[in-house]
Structure 1
């Protein structure tokens, strides 16, 4: 039995044996729960294989974004590993405990998304002279910007938020996020192109 406790085991799915033949499902779940509390990495890998698809499905349905759902899935299992001492079998099954963590992580992700969009929306106010159409067009532009930004892939959205609201250079964004500089430039270029195209289509549709 492996008992590393200072690092999080790899979350990549690995081949593993199914529940022992003839073993009731609840008994196998209890064994995995004991393994988790004992910092057994093999048990943790089995837990990830068993509940990973459920967690990912919950996150995808709630967030509607594949990248964010993948991030939440990783956060759930990292949180489960780091917080394994907080799992108490007498309070409920392991699966229910993981679902509870998943719901909290989804709420956190939605709150973070809302904060990002509110920051961008707030930053657009007074950022440029009012358009010829007056206040109504200015409000429409802000609504379109927030809407189109929310539709971007998460990496593109995050890069543009950092550049627009925090006024970071692309090099600073690369340092902040850990992305290669070329990747940051690509996300910024593609994100701006999609934003401009989406806002133009939105203005045309409301004209």
Structure 2
């Protein structure tokens, strides 16, 4: 049984479909969450996740185990793909005019809350935070998502973004402050 990232990648490169299925099963939630956090849309996040996995599969020969964990490499590939997607989206948006972003509601587990009212409040809060996060500048949003939602360490973020640790910490702090300001402004009306 393959247990290390290097063995899984080696198996994939040798044509072992079980190794690839293991990678997909193990990392799909992480990659999907990354895509969803950046897009705010379930359908778009699923499409991006599929595209990212195709890109990962085609790029497996460039993974170097000595450079870090497979998940960090995959998140970096995913992040770069999402940035490319956003650039294309911005170009399309500028050519077609304003695009209203649709927000789909996540399925909530009602058992997590004491009442339907609490579930509704939580859903509304989650939507407010997500809408505000999408309005934070891209570089700050990316840092906040990687730290607070993807729970990467400062070191992992610095490595992934190829930035000094101080810049990463600054972006996270500025992103959190911007998010708080946007939420405060929205709550005032």
Between the two structures, name the one with larger relative contact order (CA 8 Å, sep ≥ 6): 2
TM-score, normalised via structure 2 length: 0.50
TM-score, normalised via structure 1 length: 0.46
Report which of the two has the higher share of helix: 2
Structure exhibiting the larger radius of gyration computed from Cα positions: 1
